[in-house]
Amino acid sequence: MRLKIVSVGEPVLRAASHGLSTEHILSPDIQQLIEWMRETVRDAPGVGLAAPQVGESIQLAVIEDSLEYQESLTEKELKERERVVIPFHVIVNPTLELLTEPNRTFFEGCLSLPGYTASVARAREVRVRCLDYRGEPQVIHASGWYARILQHEIDHLDGTLYIDRMQVQTFSTLENYTRHLKDRLPNT
């Protein structure tokens, strides 16, 4: 089942979501939600989806950056973004630690703001402590684009959107980004 992705303006996107117990994570309802979120993010397509984006105010997100999503990028773009294949996984109750300053700037989009993009500074390296889909503790050390995805999705769990962190003058429709900005603005 594909879930409806809520758009900016929905109150759930601006609220801090609540944590889940291991018992709740293992419940049939949450396990089913995880599977539906997996189908939804793949159908969108996107590299991450947080539970608030499907109307659930809980500390849960799914992440996957498949080779298929990277096919439209050049080798140079993949290298400068430090983008690699990230297998599907779930993060629950994450805590984020920035290991570098948030000074890596690239354009981001969001499934809850379809058709738009903006440049956002993020940390190149992060550590995330969380639970997985089985309620087992995990520590994720991530860099490059994976670190960006984690920061973006964890922001959703705290009620923050990329537009809160964007360089305002870079906000653009995807069409105008492709026509005017993609090759002119440096990603640093």
Pick the catalytic residue from 35, 75, 80, 153. Answer: 153
Residue 77's SS3 state is helix
Question: How many angstroms separate the CA atoms of 41 and 62, rounded?
Answer: 8
Q: Which of 1, 18, 5, 21 lies closest to 112, judged by CA?
A: 5
Question: How many angstroms separate the CA atoms of 9 and 4, rounded?
Answer: 15
Residue 125 appears among annotated catalytic residues: no
Q: Which of 53, 161, 170 lies closest to 117, judged by CA?
A: 170
Inter-residue contact 172 to 118 (CB < 8 Å): yes
Question: How many angstroms separate the CA atoms of 88 and 101, rounded?
Answer: 27
Inter-residue contact 35 to 60 (CB < 8 Å): no
* Enzyme catalytic residues: 153
